[in-house]
Structure 1
Amino acid sequence: MLKEEIWIEKYRPKKLDDIVGQTEVIKRLKSYVQSRNLPHLLFSGPPGVGKTAAAISVARELFGETWVNNFTELNASDERGIDVVRNKIKNFARTSPLGDAWFKIIFLDEADALTQDAQSALRRTMEKYTGSCRFILSCNYSSKIIEPIQSRCAVYRFKPISSNAIEERMGHIAREEGITLTDDGLEAIRYVAEGDMRRAINALQAAAMLDKTVTMDAIYKTTATARPEEVAELVKFGLEGNFAKARAKLDYLLIEQGLSGEDITGQIFRAIRDMTIPDRLKVDLIDRIGEIDFRMAEGANERIQLEALIAYFIRYGANNK
């Protein structure tokens, strides 16, 4: 077991052409590599869509064998104060690039975790060391990056990975690892991943450790995810006014499967979004789901809130039969 390689590292893209699902972004990044120059860059988008892989691939293709010496990666969620800008970033930025490189690259991951003071200091550092250093910042929410930094960067927005791209990549990994991925197992991976390639690869590896044949059951068990049809049943029982069955299904998801309240509300939201019910009903139910999710995020008792959600489904269903 200890010798088992982590697949997300083993199959991490090594060059820009290996990154899937971001055709337009990759096309523009390749033009920078071809011109041997680079502006400051800001990558934004959800987790697991290729932001870090793109930054490292740009450095690899620009600098060749000397890319390790001319590239540094810092995670702003580990050190988010002004000291990391004043010390680590400045010390690296003020040194000259090695080899035939014209500049060095500082990759600042999760830059939206930096404090306002740290971002203000970073803005000045980006100006001062432009001649010898380029910055690539990645974040989940570009709105959390101050405007002066955004205006100094070329902003690229990464979108969630499409189902077809995930399907193709999972098939490639399954063939490389000698495992059998069933059709329902692949469908389960697409559901669990939600456009996150990293989550998809982790789900596949976790299931493959149990059996060389990866099925839907294995995916849902190893990822602690409820089957979509079970969540749909919970909603259906509620709208039909059957509180006992809805509560029993909730008990099963919370106790037997060990799901958290936020996991369940997230899957209820997805189930309602995909249901063939009137739009007005969807709007009212999603509005209440949002309220319950906010209450739990603020620290409310998840059991009480989830049962209150079921009660709302029952009352709403009774009034709108």
Structure 2
Amino acid sequence: MEQKNGSSFTGFILLGFSDRPQLERVLFVVILIFYLLTLLGNTTIIALSRLDPHLHTPMYYFLSNLSFLDLCYTTSTVPQLLVHLRGTDKSISFGGCVAQLFISLGLGGTECILLGVMAFDRYAAICRPLHYMVIIHPRLCALMASASWFIGFANSSLQTVLVFLVPLCGRNKIDHFFCEFPQLLKLACVDITGNESEIFFAAVITLLIPVALITFSYGQIVRAVLRIKSAAGQRKAFGTCGSHLTVVSLFYGTAIYAYLQPSNNHSQDKGKFVSLFYTIVTPMANPFIYTLRNKDVMGAIKKVFCRGYDSR
């Protein structure tokens, strides 16, 4: 990375919401509450998936993976954001910025692929119920989950290297609350058309291929459900998929808006609030979306709490 006038490049300044001090105080309280709810909700999902034998199924194996992802993804940005909202020092070291970009991109890419895998799981459960446990066996579950993590972080490695190969010429003020690659590219002092094309291509693969798998899976699911003559059977089938579709819509909607739309099409402030949504709101909402209408999870919660109460 090039430097300016031979000076040492020590890190970046994350401007965040520093131009709105009143908003910073409100955001600190709101984000802290959301973060605590994220920790509580996703930890509960992971614990229940381990403690209740009835939840030792492929669906809840992938769901616990998703909850762990959400915990890590939120923790990669939110604690530092809370510190910056309460203080005047908005700096982040160069190494810290590289690590934050690599981890957040890796976890985000992994979640994209994992949501596609979960759609395939729902397809097998509804469209191939008699062969479900043969198709989605434990070894395949572990393989698909591992592949999601590998592809997500392989893509992150590529994009992180591409971003930090761009000369920044000493420019170090990022108009965002964390190190996100579209904002880092804006600091470049050279033509970045080629870099943007490469990163856009990688983002298309990471986002749109899982979307295609999800679309295909749910197209087959709808056809299979419509062939069910019982209205109760149709409601049950759609109920098992509704939570996943809601999470997919929240995650992909905001991610596609943030990464696949030309940066000059929306204001910087709007982009920050969209980023807040998919880094904080979505991970907080996911466990509640999956549990509020899920009888298996609610039953597991009652059993675990009743067991703990009885042991006293």
Q: TM-score, normalised by structure 2?
A: 0.22
Relative contact order (alpha carbons < 8 A, sep ≥ 6): 1 or 2 greater? 2
- Higher-strand-fraction structure: 1
TM-score w.r.t. the length of structure 1 is 0.21
Higher normalized helix content (fraction of residues): 2
